[in-house]
Structure 1
Amino acid sequence: MNTGSAVPDSYYVRIDEHRFKPTAHASGAWDENELHFSPLGGLIAHVVERRLAARPQGGPALSRISYDILGRLALDECEIRVETIRPGRTIELLEAVVTVADRPVVRARAWLLAEQDTAAVAGGAGDRLTAPERLAPWPMAELWPGGYIASLDVRPVAPPRPGRTTAWVSTPLALVAGEPSGPYASYLALVDTANGIAVRESPTRWMFPNVDLTVHLHRRPEGAWTGLDTTVVFGPSGQGLTSTVLHDVRGPVGRAEQILTVRPMPGA
């Protein structure tokens, strides 16, 4: 996707070792002057992956990442710093903090677990989804505004229903201009889309943004497609939950959960 020479074909441009500037492609669905969290979640994973890539081979693999969204995500330059909270050769915990204008806006914690051969006992993950190449695109931008949603190739396995949709998501854009992304960052950069594919109520009448995202993985994702088998529940007192079985083209890879704050759209 190219909307003009002034906008790179990426969600972010690196400024220096720790700072990144978003492009218009990263703009949000609730407010186009804010970030969509999905590419920011991928950027955090990108920073973590690059830190891990500098280590000797054979280290632990990303197995869980939990993001807490602390406030408004301005469409502005951000800084990401990563530190080790719990060191270890087989189990390790990292924390990444994202700041915008010197204010923390996201805290993410990533558990890393050692990889070893457990193929003899692997099982229980479930069946594959229909391959995305066999499915027709869905114009999700007719439901949601923003540069991020406009950048996506979305292919539902069946017609989307309120609160229940299974779909593949991909993008032609780079996460960071001029930088290859690892398998985790490329995959995780699309997971937050889950809250927008199975809407229970019209987003012009109701708001239901997520304040967190937690992803558990039982294997390393592969390929350019993120599969989202998503169910959305609204409770009776202002809370909701978006629950997703995550897939790649080989089958399930894990699960994601997002807690929602549900409220009427002002003036609706």
Structure 2
Amino acid sequence: MDTGSYYEPVDEHRYKPTAHVGGAWDIAEQHFSPLGGLVVHAIDRHLAGRPGSGLLLSRISFDILGRLALDECEIRVETVRPGRTIELLEAVVRIAGRPVVRARAWLLAAGDTTGVAGGAGERLTPPDDLDRWALEELWPGGYIASLDIRPVAPPRPGRTTAWVRTGLDLVAGQPSSPLASYVTLIDTANGIATRQPPTEWMYPNVDLTAHFHRQPTGPWTGLDTTVAFGPTGQGLTSSVLHDVDGPVGRAEQILTVRPQP
């Protein structure tokens, strides 16, 4: 396998994960983060097959339906609600013929709103002068080991702001859009602001929703993240999303919280 990418293409719709996709909860499973980016990559390829529409992906929601085996996956994209100014797409990821992720993406018309832009918040401290955090000491798996993570301030239980980037390609031999590369790193959020040691508690997310008020640029994904646990087994990971120019949107992940067996 090509050690310089997260996935290798098999054909137009199928991809094989490399060892760099190995999960944090189970190294024999795919970490969802690069798979989320791969879904956006598949959406980009779906849109590239038709004339330019001037629409921008402004929200994407992922529902994780089952175990993400470290095996070949197939992604099919279809248009649910066509339109000239608003469009809804759906992507389904299948492993061994079984749906494991269902994603829906809203595309909204692009336009010049520079004159009224505002309210997003302040920039984060740039990553260049920050020290790397060896998150692989806390979490196993090929995905976490592939990352360059730089906290803006010392991480605290349930609260961390950090920059994340990778030197790997998303798909070997295929260029990826800035948005697909950016989304590839968002699901890292649940692992950087741990409230409890993962050796004692489990808190995987069953979904991820990201809203964008501005299209992000790379290579850094900034995650200003807070994790809350409720009293009845649910948790919430909430992140303000940044690139080096400032906030670009928000992400939310619902967690199932339970002690390790």
Secondary structure at the residue paired with 1:133? coil
Q: Which runs of structure 2 are paired with 1:18-33 in the superposition (5 Å)?
A: 18-33=13-28
Select the residue among 92, 115, 121 that pairs with 1:120. Answer: 115
Q: Would the aligned equivalents of 1:210 and 1:259 in 2 still touch at CA under 8 Å?
A: yes
1:84 aligns with 2:79: yes
Corresponding pairs, count? 261
Structure 1 counterpart of 2:67 = 72
Partner of 1:210: 205
Where does residue 225 of structure 1 map in the other structure? 220
| 8 Å contact kept, 2:2–2:172 | no
Structure 1 stretches lacking a partner, 5+ long? 1-5
CA–CA distance in 1 between the matches of 2:146 and 2:208? 21
Name the counterpart of 1:192.
Answer: 187
Give the superposition deviation at 1:54: 3.2
Q: Quote the offset at 1:55 in angstroms.
A: 3.1
Matched, 1:57 2:52: yes
TM-score norm. by structure 1 comes to 0.96
Deviations 1:209-246 (A, max 9, x none): 00000000001101200000000000000000000000
Contact 1:7 1:24 in 2 (8 A): no
The amino acid that maps onto 2:171 is: V
1:109-148 pair list within 5 angstroms = 109-148=104-143
What secondary structure does 2:38 align onto? helix
Amino acid at match of 1:204: T
1:264 is matched with which residue?
A: 259
Q: Percent identity?
A: 74
* Partner residue in 2 for 1:3: none
CA shift, 1:59, in A, is 2.1
Root-mean-square deviation over aligned CA pairs: 0.8
Stretches of 4+ aligned residues off by more than 6 angstroms = none
Tell me if the contact between 1:49 and 1:184 (Cα under 8 Å) persists in the aligned partners. no
**Conserved? CA contact 1:217–1:253, under 8 Å:** yes
Q: For residues 26-55 of structure 1, what are the alpha-carbon distances to aligned partners after superposition, in whole Å with 9 as ceiling and x for unaligned? A: 000000000000000000000111222333
Taking structure 2 as the reference length, what is the TM-score of the superposition?
0.99
Q: 1:178 is matched by which residue type in structure 2?
A: G
One-letter identity of the residue aligned with 2:240: V
Determine helix, strand or coil for the equivalent of 1:132: coil
1:198-217 Cα deviation digits (max 9, x unpaired): 00000000000000000000
Q: 1:7, CA displacement in angstroms?
A: 4.2
Q: Equivalents in 2 of 1:109, 1:236: separation in Å?
A: 30
